[in-house]
Structure 1
C-alpha cells in the first residue's frame, strides 16, 4: 500500500471482503461500479485507494458531490467535533444551532455579497427533490401547469424532474407518460445560425404556435449530464429577460454546476442574471453528506407548512459540514485561486484538443466543469476505460456517452491537476491507437 494511503482498517474497522457480495445482492441498476470495478476503501483529497492498496486520481468527484475533494480536513474536523459533542443529528425542520449557523453563514458569505435575497427551503436531501419543490412553487404562484425545459437537460429521476430531463433512455424507465413539459432547443443546439431564444420567444408570442404560457422555464447553465454544453452569457440574459417580460418563473438548476464547479459559487453569476428560483445539492454540504435546498424569491414563497416536506431535510451533520465549507469561500483568496486553477485546466484541455484535432476533439463546459468531445462517439468511453487502467477516474457525459467529462476537485493543486491530466493524455493516445488498429484490421 502507498505510504501516504490511510490504512483500510482505520476507516472500515472490518476485514475487507471481495466484490462477490455486490453481484449477489445489489440491484442490476448500479452503474458507476461497472465502469470502475475496484473495491475502494479509503480516500483523501483527490485520491482514492482500493483494497489492494492501488492509488487512483479522482476526476469523477462523486459526479459533482466532492468539489472540495474527499475528507477535506477542515470539514472533517467540524463533523467529528459535532458528533463528539452530541450535537442533534436529525431534526426534521426543528430549529437547531447547526441550522442557524448554516443559514447565517450562507446569508453572510454567499447571498449578501452577491446582492441576492432568497428564502431557503430545505427539501429532501437530493437534487431531484429540490427540483420537485421548484416546480410546485412555480405552479402555485402562476396557476399554470406547463414548463419549458431544454434539449440535453438533466434534472433528476423522480417523475416531475424526469419529465424535464431529456435523455430518452432515462425517461423510458418512468413507465408512465411524462407530461406538462415543452422541450425547446438549448443554446447552440442547431449550431451558430439559429437563435434559440428568439425561437422560444416566437413560439410563446404566437397564439397559433400551440405552445401555452408556461409556469416556469427550467435550465442548467452548463449541462453536466447532457454533454457539457455551456449556455452563452448573452443567451442567458435574453432568456431571463423573456421570462421576466412574460411573468414566467425562471428556475436555474445549479445542482451540479453550482458551489463553485462552473467557476463561481453560482453558475449564473457570470451572466449577471438573478433567477427566481435556484436549486442546490451535490457539493452543498462539502463532504458528501446528503443535503439540498431550493432558494425562492421571497414573494414567491407561497407553499404552506407541510406542502413540500421530507424526513431527512433536517440533516445537521450536513449543516455543520456546509457551514464549514462556506468558511473556505469567506477567504478572499479562495475565488482567485479557483479562477487560476480553472484557467490551468482549460489551457491543458485546449492543448489536448489541438493534439487530437484529427479526432475532432473540442473542449466544452466552463470553469471546473469540463468535457472533451470527439467525432467518434465511442472514443470517450474507451478513453475512460484506459484511464481507469492507468489509475484515473473520469466518466462520460451525453445521451450517447460521447463526451469525456473532466471534474477534478475545485481545490486541487497544480501538481495533482497536471498529474491527472498527464494520465488522461496517455489514455486518449492509447484509445486513439486502439481505434486505428481496429479500423485497419
Structure 2
C-alpha cells in the first residue's frame, strides 16, 4: 500500500509531541466497526481501537442512533455535575446491569473526562480517607500523564516529562517481574513489617490486572488475590486501574472479576462511553465517600452525550454473549500468536495476553516497531508497547468478526515474515 505525504499543516503547526500519527502517515476520515478509511480512499483493519476506547467498534450503529436522537431533540450537552436526564439514565442502567448483578455496592463519581482524571481522584480520595501520603505502584505500570498518575507510572521517558520530582510513590515488583525467583510479595510484605525499612505505610496500592502500555503483562489470578489479601491485612486500600482493561477488554466487564477480588476503588474510562467520547468513572466503597461538595471537580465531568452512548453500550452487558465472544476471539488470536512465537523463538518471540488484549514480544525492540510499520503498509493498524517498545500490541474491537480476525492475523503474519525472514529466525 502506497502512502502519501501528510499535509504540511501537521508538521508546521502541530506540536512535536504528536506520536501515533508518526507511525501511521495517513489522514483518517471515516470509520465503521473494525475498519478505518483515509481521505485517499485507503482502508485499514483497526486492531488498535483507540487504545481501547472503542471496544464496540467505530460508530457502532446502536450507540450512534442513541446519540443522534439525543442531539436532534436538543438534549443538554454540557452540565458540569448538574442532575440531567442523561446522567440519571446512565446511573440507573449502570446499577441495574453492572453493579447489582456483581454484588458491588459502589458509589459512582464522575471525576472528569480522562483516565488520568479517575486515577488522580482515586489517589486523592485514598489519601483523604487514610490520612497517609504514600502509594505503592508496580514496575512497568502506566496510569496517566498528570503528576499524581505519573508518580505511580513506571516508564522513565514518560516520568521525565514531568520536569519535577515525582514523590510519595514506591514501586514494587509486578507479577513475574523477577522471573519467579522469589515468592510473591516477599519484598513488599517484608518492607511493611520492618520498622527500619524506610517504607511509610501506604494509603493505597494501585494496580492494573493486565499492564497494557507496560508490555501486555498479565497478572495471575492468584497473584491478584494475594495482593488483595495483603492490602486487607495491612489496612491499605486497593485501587484497580481498569481504564484500558475494563468494559470487557479481558472478557468480563471488569478485568478483576476472574480473580474473584473486590477492589476498594476502581478506575474506569476509555470504553465506558462506548463511542470514543470522553468519560471516566471512579467507583468506591460507600464508606469511603468522604468528599466535601466540590472538593474534587472539573468542567467536563458532565458530558451528557457520553452518558447517552454509555447507557446504550450497557445493552451489550445484559447477558454474557459479548463476554463469551471476546474470550473465544481472544483464544483464536492467542493461538495464532503462539504459533508465530514458536516460529520465531530464536528471536525471543513470546505471545502474551488475555481476552482481546494480546501481544507478541521480541528481544530486539526494533523488531516490533518494524513489524508495526509493515503491518500498516499491508492494511492493519497495530501499536507497540513495553518499556522498550518491544511488544506488538493487538486490541481489536470486542465486536470484531471471525473473518476480520483471520484477515488481520494473515496481514500480521505476512508483516512478521517480511521483516524477519525465516532464515533469520532459524
1:357-402: CA deviation from partner (whole Å, max 9, x where unpaired): 2222111121111111112221100100110111111000011101
1:20-72: CA deviation from partner (whole Å, max 9, x where unpaired): 11111101100000000101111010001111101101011111111111000
For structure 1, list consecutive stretches of 5 or more residues without a partner in the other structure. 1-16
State the alpha-carbon separation in 1 of the partners of residues 324 and 62 from structure 2: 20
**Aligned-residue offset at 1:341:** 1.5
State the alpha-carbon separation in 1 of the partners of residues 353 and 182 from structure 2: 20
Partner of 1:249: 237
Partner of 1:77: 65
- Say if 2:248 is the partner of 1:234: no
Q: Secondary structure at the match of 2:384?
A: strand
Q: Secondary structure at the match of 1:242?
A: helix
State the alpha-carbon separation in 1 of the partners of residues 23 and 150 from structure 2: 24
RMSD between aligned residues: 1.4
- Selected match of 1:29 from 17, 21, 34: 17
- Say if 2:419 is the partner of 1:393: no
**Aligned-residue offset at 1:434:** 10
Partner of 1:313: 301
Partner of 1:183: 171
Q: Secondary structure at the match of 2:392?
A: strand
Question: Residues 435 and 354 (structure 1 numbering): CA distance in 2 closer, same or farther, change over 3 Å?
Answer: closer
Partner of 1:7: none
State the alpha-carbon separation in 1 of the partners of residues 186 and 222 from structure 2: 12
State the alpha-carbon separation in 2 of the partners of residues 305 and 48 from structure 1: 43
Partner of 2:93: 105
For structure 2, list consecutive stretches of 5 or more residues without a partner in the other structure. none
- Selected match of 1:162 from 142, 150, 155: 150
Alignment of 1:14-413 (within 5 A): 19-413=7-401
State the alpha-carbon separation in 2 of the partners of residues 393 and 50 from structure 1: 13
State the alpha-carbon separation in 2 of the partners of residues 366 and 434 from structure 1: 27
Instruction: Name the count of aligned residue pairs.
Output: 421
Q: Which of 353-362 and 314-323 deviates more?
A: 353-362
Name segments (4+ residues, structure 1) moved above 6 Å.
none
**Aligned-residue offset at 1:435:** 9.8
State the alpha-carbon separation in 2 of the partners of residues 58 and 74 from structure 1: 20
**Aligned-residue offset at 1:198:** 2.3
State the alpha-carbon separation in 2 of the partners of residues 271 and 331 from structure 1: 20
**Aligned-residue offset at 1:436:** 4.3
**Aligned-residue offset at 1:196:** 3.7
- Contact between 1:128 and 1:158, CA under 8 Å: does it hold in 2? yes
State the alpha-carbon separation in 2 of the partners of residues 61 and 159 from structure 1: 26
1:226-247: CA deviation from partner (whole Å, max 9, x where unpaired): 0111111111001000101111
1:160-187: CA deviation from partner (whole Å, max 9, x where unpaired): 0010101110111111110000111111
State the alpha-carbon separation in 1 of the partners of residues 377 and 396 from structure 2: 18
TM-score between the two structures when normalised by the length of structure 2? 0.97
State the alpha-carbon separation in 1 of the partners of residues 301 and 423 from structure 2: 48
Q: Which of 334-343 and 227-236 deviates more?
A: 334-343
1:117-161: CA deviation from partner (whole Å, max 9, x where unpaired): 100000110000100000111001100000000000000010000
Q: Secondary structure at the match of 2:137?
A: strand
State the alpha-carbon separation in 2 of the partners of residues 425 and 64 from structure 1: 22
- Contact between 1:188 and 1:194, CA under 8 Å: does it hold in 2? no
